Amino acid sequence: MSIRRFALAALAGALISGPVAAAQTLLNVSYDPTRELYVDYNAAFNKHWQAQGHEPVTIQQSHGGSGKQARAVIDGLRADVVTLALAGDIDELHRMGKLIPEDWQTRLPDASTPYTSTIVFLVRKGNPKDIKDWDDLVKPGVEVITPNPKTSGGARWNFLAAWAWAQQQYGSEEKAKEYVAQLYKQVPVLDTGARGSTITFVNNKIGDVLLAWENEAFLALKEEGGDELEIVAPSLSILAEPPVAVVDRNVERKGTRELAEAYLNYLYSEEGQRIAAKHFYRPRNQSVAAEFAQQFPELKLVTIDDDFGGWKQAQPKFFNDGGVFDQIYEAR
């Protein structure tokens, strides 16, 4: 059969069978480090969904920088659900695209964040520069690897964690600004995303300490076998909350609301929580958290809402053009 005839037949087949026997599909648009998590979770959810007496579903996942993913959805990517790195990016789905209501974050428990993470330090085996806490990062000769907060969601959590520590330590915003200015002076490379920084630190062996998502740090450790790297938990960090949301406009068009809501709700079930914990995300469910307590170092955590007034205030103050991050570079 010629290719053209084959294509025509396939097209005709799709037209005829498409609407009738279409298994429901669900598109989950997520950020970079959740790739492995959602591969596992999608399989588990499909089992659960079928156990409820539904047809099996095809779940597609898309990963990339959190901001880029949000823009793709705003610009027309038909995501049923978004699971992004920070609430600020999902807020834009409302502000720019009117795809979801403004109060989206109140629709699911725990501010729509089924799992959390935090920011930790990844250092070379044996911790040769003796890095224990945030003040060690600005010691002479220490090179810090972190992505650019202008282009990376993870990097914004890094920046805010450093800021929160410095403000508690030194007691004022000016001192905190001096601290982060010094910190970023010791950053030799600003990659555009968290994975880029991990490559720079782990593969290209640049720098003494990588500021990383806890889950990303554990993953790097797992992949290289624990011979070259170790994790250091600072005295204080930030509760990184990557939230999830159903994209109302898209599920209404596609008729997938029930499925999409079940998909996100199941993240809060014990099974969902356990999968998240296995992939080094901190579960919200107390009993699952207790099961995995060994895995996660205990540390003091500030939150974006209590300590920074939410992303609506933090984003323009720190990261938009002319914000604190720009100021510390312009002051040079």
Partner 1 sequence: MSRPSPVIPGFGLTLGYTLVYLSLLVLIPLGALFIKSTELTWEQFVAIVSAPRVLAALKLSFGAALAAALLNGVIGTLLAWVLVRYRFPGRKVIEAMIDLPFALPTAVAGIALTALYAPNGPIGQFATELGFKIAYSPLGIALALTFVTLPFVVRTLQPVLADIPREVEEAATCLGARPWQIARHVLLPALLPAWLTGFALAFARGVGEYGSVIFIAGNMPGKTEILPLLIMVKLDQYDYAGATAIGVLMLVVSFVLLLVINLLQRRIARG
**Based on CB atoms, which residue is closest to partner 1, 176 or 190?**
190
* C-alpha distances out from residue 38 to 8, 148, 196, 212, 263, Å: 35, 26, 21, 20, 11
Residue 329 is a binding residue for partner 1 (CB under 8 A): yes
Residue 307's CB is within 10 A of a number of other CB atoms, namely 17
Q: Measure the CA–CA gap between 330 and 324, rounded to whole angstroms.
A: 10
Contact window for partner 1 (CB under 8 A) among 225-233, 247-255, 300-308, 316-324 = 316-324
CA end-to-end span of the chain, whole Å? 67
Return the structure tokens found at 101.
């209501």
Residue 199 is a binding residue for partner 1 (CB under 8 A): yes
Residue 151 is a binding residue for partner 1 (CB under 8 A): yes
Q: Closest distance between partner 1 and the C-beta of residue 189, in Å?
A: 4
The closest of 218, 37, 191 to 120, measured between CA atoms, is 218
Return the structure tokens found at 277.
């914990």
Q: Closest distance between partner 1 and the C-beta of residue 102, in Å?
A: 16
3-state SS class at 220: helix
Of the candidates 60, 106, 204, 295, which one interacts with partner 1 according to CB under 8 A? 204
For residues 160 and 152, the answer to whether their CB atoms sit within 8 Å is no
Residue 50 is a binding residue for partner 1 (CB under 8 A): no
Residue 48 is a binding residue for partner 1 (CB under 8 A): no
Q: Closest distance between partner 1 and the C-beta of residue 19, in Å?
A: 30
Contact window for partner 1 (CB under 8 A) among 39-47, 129-137, 171-179, 191-199 = 191-199
**Based on CB atoms, which residue is closest to partner 1, 192 or 303?**
192
For residues 159 and 180, the answer to whether their CB atoms sit within 8 Å is yes
Residue 242 is a binding residue for partner 1 (CB under 8 A): no
3-state SS class at 289: helix
Residue 243 is a binding residue for partner 1 (CB under 8 A): no
Of the candidates 56, 109, 188, 309, which one interacts with partner 1 according to CB under 8 A? 188
For residues 304 and 311, the answer to whether their CB atoms sit within 8 Å is yes
Instruction: State the residues that interact with partner 1 by CB under 8 A.
Output: 65, 67-68, 71, 92, 95-96, 148, 150-151, 188-192, 196, 199-200, 203-206, 315, 319-321, 326, 329-330, 332
